[in-house]
Structure 1
Amino acid sequence: MITVERTVLVNRPRAEVLAYLADFGHTADWDPGTESCTRLDAGPVAVGARWRNVSRFRGRRTELAYRLEQYGPDRLVFEGRNRTVTATDDIGLRPAGTHTVLVYRARLRFHGLARLAAPLLRREFERLADAVAARLPEVLEEG
């Protein structure tokens, strides 16, 4: 399993950051690897909401079916799956005056033969986490 974590300070109140990030469809705005992320169901964003995420990694296109697993005032957890990997995006939020401290943690658990490649992919996922950490504050503070 690969786990990457980044902490960023965002110049926005926690409630606004939470509302934006709870809609996983916005990942195309802040995750450089995501090409598109489309909601698969309707209604308010709540636990159980689902998205189809299309990403490009190492020149290959991959699709994951994501589900919102946890939605609280200080934490969002999304889980995405396909045959090769289970990806968990765990986002913690805490107020810091008028700002928000955002802790982004991605865990990738590879299945089958893909498990053998996991150690070789760590560096690329670290670079991707750096790019997410740089982009998140920019996107969140634009709105």
Structure 2
Amino acid sequence: MAITVERSFRVGTPASTVVAYLEDFAHTEEWDPGTVRCRRTDAGPVAVGARWQNTSRFRGRETTLDYRLVTREPDRLVFQGSNRSVSATDDMAIRPHGDGTLVTYRATLTFKGVLRLAEPLLRGAFDDLADAVEARLPAVLGALPPTPAA
């Protein structure tokens, strides 16, 4: 059993700019209200296998997950994170839509051990967090300068 939240929204920013921004998971500090800090833990260009350490605050408690980029495609990014109590997958679909971009953000959390019993009680709080991401992320993406054409 897992908790999955999904939100979709449109921004006026080109898809290539959105992907270039979102592929660096350290940017979660700017658009995810739950993220306290996020830092890259390896070096080099962002590619499949790149790693970050993300510390989030949820319901008054901080937790740190080690994330890695597992899928990097022109229209999709998938990050997987884990620690001893939870596994998380952040799956972002980024598609051109009219003169902008349609972003679909899906977060799935699977609790381990006895914390699995708390999943039904935490669902509403994760929905609230997803609403907060949906309120903040479009503004952040909308303010990005276009990336230069390759």
Looking at structure 1, the residues matched to 17 and 143 of structure 2 have their Cα atoms a distance apart, in angstroms, of 12
What pairs up with 1:41-120 in 2 under 5 angstroms?
41-120=42-121
After TM superposition, the score normalised by the length of structure 1 is: 0.99
After TM superposition, the score normalised by the length of structure 2 is: 0.94
Using the TM superposition, give the Cα deviation of residue 16 of structure 1 relative to its aligned residue in structure 2, in angstroms: 0.2
Using the TM superposition, give the Cα deviation of residue 117 of structure 1 relative to its aligned residue in structure 2, in angstroms: 0.4
Using the TM superposition, give the Cα deviation of residue 142 of structure 1 relative to its aligned residue in structure 2, in angstroms: 1.5
Query: Secondary structure, in 3 states, of the residue corresponding to 2:46?
Result: coil
Could you report, residue by residue, the CA deviation over 1:53-106 in whole angstroms, capped at 9, with x for unpaired residues? 000000001000000000000100000000110000000011012200000000
Which residues of structure 1 form unaligned runs of 5+?
Answer: none
Looking at structure 1, the residues matched to 64 and 99 of structure 2 have their Cα atoms a distance apart, in angstroms, of 37
Could you report, residue by residue, the CA deviation over 1:109-135 in whole angstroms, capped at 9, with x for unpaired residues? 100011000110000000000000111
**Identical residues among aligned pairs (%):** 62
Looking at structure 2, the residues matched to 35 and 80 of structure 1 have their Cα atoms a distance apart, in angstroms, of 15
Partner residue, 1:134: 135
Partner residue, 2:148: none
Looking at structure 1, the residues matched to 135 and 87 of structure 2 have their Cα atoms a distance apart, in angstroms, of 24
Matched pairs, number: 143
Query: Secondary structure, in 3 states, of the residue corresponding to 1:91?
Result: strand
Looking at structure 2, the residues matched to 10 and 64 of structure 1 have their Cα atoms a distance apart, in angstroms, of 29
